[in-house]
Structure 1
Amino acid sequence: MSKYDALRDHLRRRRSGEVTYRLDDLADLVPGGLPPSAYRHTAWWANGDRSHLHSRSWGDAGYTAHPDLARGVVRFVPAPRKPG
């Protein structure tokens, strides 16, 4: 169980399409909030890093993250489906 499971589950409940969230709204979804590095470092939002639970959460929900930290938002875009 990961503290980011709530984020994964929230994204999974979305029907389809991209969605943009304010960082503070995402912090409300995650027990204990987001770490300071999520607000300061674009690299925290890297996609496809299965060793990081936060990255795995949106990846498992079928999304990629695209942060705009200057605006304080993250856009989640449906990941391309792998053939096969």
Structure 2
Amino acid sequence: ADALGIGARRLHRRSLAAFGYGPKTLARVLRLQRALALARGGTPLAETAARTGYADQAHLARDVRELTGLPPGDLLGRRG
């Protein structure tokens, strides 16, 4: 909000109108997309998590499940 020169509430309202969710959820979705791109390219999940800013592989797995409803292996088409 500060970088755009608008208030936090205005940014939230604009994000809701544009994306259907707030800016923090948008940031989570974009980070997840970066992580999935790495994982689909063959990067191991632990390394993917580290490179995309997750605390650890479990944090990545929780975010995947919360945002998509699927565990990482299912989402990536991998069998555990």
- TM-score > 0.5 by shorter chain: no
TM-score tier, shorter chain, comes to 0.3 to 0.5
| Greater radius of gyration (CA) | 2
Larger strand share, 1 or 2: 1
Larger helix share, 1 or 2: 2
